[in-house]
Amino acid sequence: MKKIIITFLTATLVLTTLADEKGLKSIFDGKTLKGWNGDPKFWSVKDGAITGQTTKENPTKGNTFIIWEAGKLKNFVLELDFKIVGGNSGIQYRSFKKPGNNDGWRIGGYQADFAAGAGGDRYSGICYGEGFRGILSLRGDQTTLTKEGGKLKKTIKKIGDAAALGKLVKKEDWNTFRIEAKDFHLTHYINGEKMTVLIDNDEKVRRAEGLLALQLHQGPPMTVQFRNIRVKNLK
């Protein structure tokens, strides 16, 4: 038994060291919402995770977000674990506060999307523009955005099978999302598999930096959780 415990502790130490070597730094303490700003009617910490929840008795009117307050992200790597039961959610990055919303918890910008149930088969892993051009790159695609004649043009190269990639996302269980953002080349991974790539050459609209936030979607009751949230800034 002692040997097993020592082996486990050694393995844990090695994994922690590897994470430190990558330069990923935790931005959530696992206990409180210190450094995060969201509507307390919907956001709390449960079981060591940032938890957003709506019910029939406590719905949200419109999508609402909890915002990381320690600054803006430009070029970066982000990793976190997520679990969702019901509904749709996502990770906002290089984002902005929407004007005209007095509560301060409405966000637009790039979103690393994921969903529960059948919806997850289509949306988990995609790059979505929340209040920002809609679906930008679907799962299994590398999408290059340009403007031609004032209209948005998408040039798509297949990088994987959307259905097969969708089956790698565990339903109502913990998954790991990784976002790599370097200049205007954005890549999403779930559980170590590349889900989508966006190359944003829409020069007048694309965003080089912005806020990080987590989404709670309007609609039917849902629960979404985030833990082990870590970020590394890139040059």
Distance CA 81, CA 176 (A): 4
**What's the predicted TM-score (pTM) here?**
0.89
97 with 81: CB under 8 angstroms?
Answer: no
Which SS3 state, helix, strand or coil, does residue 72 take? coil
- Say how far apart CA 101 and CA 90 lie, in whole Å: 20
Topology, domain 26-233: Jelly Rolls (2.60.120)
Question: What six digits make up the tokens of 217?
Answer: 């979607």
- Euclidean distance between CA atoms 207 and 136, whole angstroms: 13
Residue 166 has pLDDT above 80, yes or no: yes
pLDDT tens for each residue of 15-67 = 444 445 379 999 999 999 999 999 999 999 999 999 999 999 999 999 999 99
Q: Could you say which DSSP state residue 116 is in?
A: S
In which band, very low, low, confident or very high, does the pLDDT at 1 lie, cut at 50, 70 and 90? low
In angstroms, the CA 57 to CA 115 distance is 22
Q: Which of 19-23, 33-37, 208-212, 229-233 has the lowest mean pLDDT?
A: 19-23
Strands 107-115, 88-97: parallel, antiparallel or unpaired by DSSP?
antiparallel
Which DSSP state fits 139? T
Is residue 146 predicted with pLDDT exceeding 50?
A: yes
